[in-house]
Amino acid sequence: MYLGIDCGTQGTKAVILDPEKALIIGEGYASHQMISGSNGCREQEPSWWVEALIESYRKALDQAGVSGKQITAIGVSGQQHGLVILDSAGEVIRPAKLWCDTETSQQNSELLTLMGGEQGALAQLGLVLATGYTLSKLLWLKQVEPESFNRIEHILLPHDYLNYWLTGEMASEFGDASGTGYFDIRRREWNLDVLTLVDDSGRLPKSLPPLLEAHQSIGRIRPEVAKLLGLEESVIVASGGGDNMMGAIGTGNIQNGVVTMSLGTSGAVYACSEQPLQSLHPLVASFCSSSNGWLPLICTMNLTGAANSVRHLFGLELDEFNDRAARSPIGAEGITLLPFFNGERVPALPDASGSLLGMNSQNLNPSNLCRAVLEGTTFGLRYGLDLLRESGIKTREIRLIGGGAKSPFWRQMVADIMDTRVVCPTLGEAGALGGAIQAAWCESHLQGRKESLSDLCGRYVVLDESSAVEPSSMAVGAYQEAYDLYRQRLTSAYPQI
């Protein structure tokens, strides 16, 4: 059996995949704490991820009713861009700064200028450096915490760290490495020259781990971890990858025309490509995938968190919130919410705050505000999807994942706003399932079978046709009008975009 782990911002999920039944037979979840500050600081202790991995794994094992001795391989999915730094003893130096940390926006601007702006970044990296990428965190650390910076011996990403805890080996994989800001996505190698913009002593390049292909194993589990988890010492650990890359595998998004959209803490839209895109908008990150290809992607920083903020404002349970939103007409009677409560990545507004526009004495009511937050967050994803389409991505089907995908009302809204068929995979925990599938893929290569990832996804990724919705022609037109108003108000509020 195969164990898939997905370490996200809010918690860690674990799934156990039974290849004979072609089913997930056990699932577990454990939440994470967050260190937050009004200055945009978002951090977590890597030890919390380890604790959550153990707890979620044990819950999955209990639900499955099987022994850990039956697991043969593990695949780890992790939140991207986080900075985990270790000292010479392999110990964590300080809490990890996360993808959603905007405290480093000034450092990102400094680095982008040093690289020659957007075009300079594209020339050196194949993508444009964005606030949240790992590189700006390193410069922040040097400027703000020089003592911690000077102790750096190893630089890892969150999934790299969990792999290190599992195996004792340090390595990174092309997909997750793509989001560091010091990786060339076309040549698929570290860009060591970019690191000199942070520090020219030569220390940082020596701190980077070696790179793995997606189908390669990082190694076997440490004996002490095997004993702790009740596993055989022969268990292999796959290369793993970033959460979006593993989510692509877990939704079968490894062929042209399929788009994965995530309605989670953050929002993401991504599609596979056999080659890096050439006519690329600066806001589209053409990351490498964890299927040995590329994964053009946009990410928004405010999604279910924004919806929950409005829901909690009115003290509504989830069903009540959806019911209230459904009572409001498309366009929320003229109210537009720009939901940038934590800054924003797409559009690139790291210092933005939320705005509620178009209110008057007739339309200011809870139903309209509930709809406005769902429309505002979904319009942000439409903004990103349009950028992908302009870059040449075709969209015949959207595979919807994340907590928001469980809402039939929100699913229909997505279909109508994107004017595309929407369907959910049977298993919504796409990152964890992707980890389990990648574990099977790596094991097959290690044993010389070399099964194709396409065959494995075809076997284990099942779509829930009962969740499928088609766009409504009448609603598509009404949403287009509301989206045009959103774009008009967005541009008025932020002329720089």
Q: List, for residues 90-109, the tens digit of each pLDDT value.
A: 999 999 999 999 999 999 99
Residue whose pair of structure tokens reads 């595309």 in the numeric block: 420
Residue 43, strand partner residues: 35, 97
Residue 117 belongs to what H/E stretch?
helix 117-125
Higher pLDDT, 256 or 116: 116
Tokens standing for 478?
């009404």
Comparing CA positions, the residue from 178, 156, 186, 187 lying closest to residue 169 is 156
Residue 12, strand partner residues: 7, 30
Comparing CA positions, the residue from 29, 82, 91 lying closest to residue 58 is 29
Q: How far apart are alpha carbons 54 and 230 in whole angstroms?
A: 11
> Which DSSP string do the residues of 417-428 spell out, in sequence order?
HHTS-EEEES-S
Residue 307 · residue 349 · CB < 8 Å? no
Q: Has residue 429 got a pLDDT over 90?
A: no
Tokens standing for 403?
């907590």
- Chain segment 365-419, per-residue pLDDT in tens: 999 999 999 999 999 999 999 999 988 888 999 999 989 999 999 999 999 999 9
Tokens standing for 396?
């015949």
Q: How far apart are alpha carbons 23 and 34 in whole angstroms?
A: 33
Residue 134 · residue 160 · CB < 8 Å? no
> Domains along the chain?
2-239 (3.30.420.40), 252-428+462-497 (3.30.420.40)
The pLDDT of residue 281: 84
The pLDDT of residue 15: 97
pLDDT (average), residues 312-329: 97
Q: Has residue 216 got a pLDDT over 90?
A: yes
Q: Has residue 298 got a pLDDT over 80?
A: yes
Q: How confident is the model at residue 279 (pLDDT cuts 50, 70, 90)?
A: low
Q: Could you give the angle at which helices 243-250 and 430-446 cross, rounded to 10 degrees?
A: 80
Name the residue type at position 143.
Q
The pLDDT of residue 226: 98
Active site residues: 243
Neighbouring residues of 351: CB distance < 8 A, sequence distance ≥ 6: 102, 105, 343
- Chain segment 462-490, per-residue pLDDT in tens: 999 999 999 999 999 999 999 999 999 99
